[in-house]
Amino acid sequence: MTQEPLIVLTGAAGKIGRRTRAFLKGRCRLRSTDMLELGEAGRGEEVALADLSRADDAARVVRDATAVVHLAGIPRDAPIDAIAGANMIATWNLFEAARDAGVRRVVLGSTNHVVGFYAPEERLDAETPPRADSLYGASKVFAESVARLFWDKHGLETVCLRIGSALERPTELRHLSTWVSYDDLNRLIWASLTAERTGFTVAYGISDNARAWWSNAGARHLGYQPEDRSADHEARLIAANRLSGLTERTLDAQFQGGRWAAEGYDRTRIERS
Ligand SMILES: NC(=O)c1ccc[n+]([C@@H]2O[C@H](COP(=O)([O-])OP(=O)(O)OC[C@H]3O[C@@H](n4cnc5c(N)ncnc54)[C@H](O)[C@@H]3O)[C@@H](O)[C@H]2O)c1
């Protein structure tokens, strides 16, 4: 008897992972994993504690899996040792283990911060070369490049999701371009899991944003249909911005990566010296 495909979700205790876990439960056979406590397994679900920076843990959690949704990692800047362990070594271990276990597809939680140094006037797509805005962004450039390597060399399908700003609702002007609702992100993850073929695909994780900087035209084959729109929040955000006296001319506003790109920026000083 053939069993229903098993999906492994890493980072299942995290901000996005908790919601994706709830979404996937009942839709597929699920193994939720994190290095943090995950509580009781639900119906049709297993839970597994694992530190993916350890290769043996990664091998244990992907055993028998058909596909992996890899959300584990540190979603912000942190000391290099921490970023290297959680975002680089863990991702490498995950891909090695997935290949070894015969996993068919990995859906990788990447980030818009791989392209954060582009200006808001520029329109990007999946072919745009990376311009990471932070160590965090650079660690995800590494992760995407590992994904590409495993497709090119081993035929392991991958969808790199350059997630924008995952929030219940947008809270700042930048989010009018970058917002993704949790419901839309789950729709995108599901589309990435269920598309007939993905090969190596890069897609931006955003809702239906009229002010989007990123095109998902190249990833239409995923069949992702966002249902939420940042424009529904525009009037509120513009009014709040006016009240706070902030303008769109701050350093943050000069880069798509916002404050991530502005943090530690001293290029003017270097150019003058
Ligand atoms: N939140 C966003 O708006 C956003 C935007 C872009 C990209 N992302 C990416 O999406 C993913 C999830 O983000 P999040 O906001 O839910 O982060 P989060 O920090 O809330 O969750 C990440 C989870 O990964 C786990 N983890 C970290 N290191 C691990 C390890 N070595 N082994 C096993 N588990 C480990 C943590 O325990 C945590 O539960 C991350 O990869 C992040 O880079 C998030």
Is the pLDDT confidence value at 248 over 60? no
57: phi > 0 → left, psi -120 to 50 → alpha, else beta; which? alpha
Tell me the residue ranges of DSSP E strands in the chain.
6-10, 29-34, 45-49, 67-70, 105-111, 157-163, 165-166, 179-180, 200-205
Q: Give phi and psi for 66, each to the nearest 5.
A: -90, -40
The SS3 of residue 157 is strand
Average pLDDT score over residue span 35-53: 97
Please state the rounded mean pLDDT for residues 167-177: 96
Contacting residues for 259 by C-beta, under 8 A, at least 6 apart: 252
Tell me the β-bridge partners of 34: 49
The answer to whether residue 244 scores a pLDDT higher than 70 is: no
Region 205-220: mean pLDDT is: 96
Mutate to test the pocket of ligand 1, among 21, 31, 35, 47 (most ligand atoms within 8 A of CB): 35
Any atom of ligand 1 within 6 Å of the Cβ of 185: no
Interatomic CA distance for residues 89 and 26, integer angstroms: 31
Q: How far apart are CA 237 and CA 51, in angstroms?
A: 39
pLDDT over 70 (residue 48): yes
Residue 94 CB–ligand 1 contact under 6 Å: no
pLDDT at 212 over 60: yes
Angle (deg, nearest 10), helices 135-154 and 90-101: 20
Pocket residue to mutate for ligand 1, from 74, 184, 206, most atoms within 8 A of Cβ = 74
**Residue 240 pLDDT:** 87
- CB distance 46 to ligand 1 below 6 Å: no
Q: Is 169 in the pocket of ligand 1 (CB under 6 A)?
A: no
Q: How confident is the model at residue 246 (pLDDT cuts 50, 70, 90)?
A: low
Query: What average pLDDT does this structure show over 100-117?
Result: 98
Residue 245 has pLDDT above 80, yes or no: no
Q: Say whether pLDDT at 3 is over 70.
A: yes
pLDDT at 69: 99
If you measure from the C-alpha of residue 87 to the centroid of ligand 1, how many angstroms do you get, rounded to a whole number? 9
- Say which amino acid occupies 1: M
pLDDT confidence of residue 241? 79
Confidence band (pLDDT; 50, 70, 90) for 272? low
Measured in Å, residue 14 CA sits from the centre of ligand 1 at 6
Q: Residue with structure tokens 């954060």?
A: 116
Q: Mean pLDDT score of the chain, rounded to an integer?
A: 95
Considering the entire predicted model, what is its pTM? 0.96
- Span 159-175, mean pLDDT? 97
Contact status, residue 101 vs residue 156, Cβ threshold 8 Å: no
Q: Which amino acids are annotated catalytic? A: 136
Residue nearest to atom 38 of ligand 1 (CA): 14
Given this model, what pLDDT does residue 242 score?
77
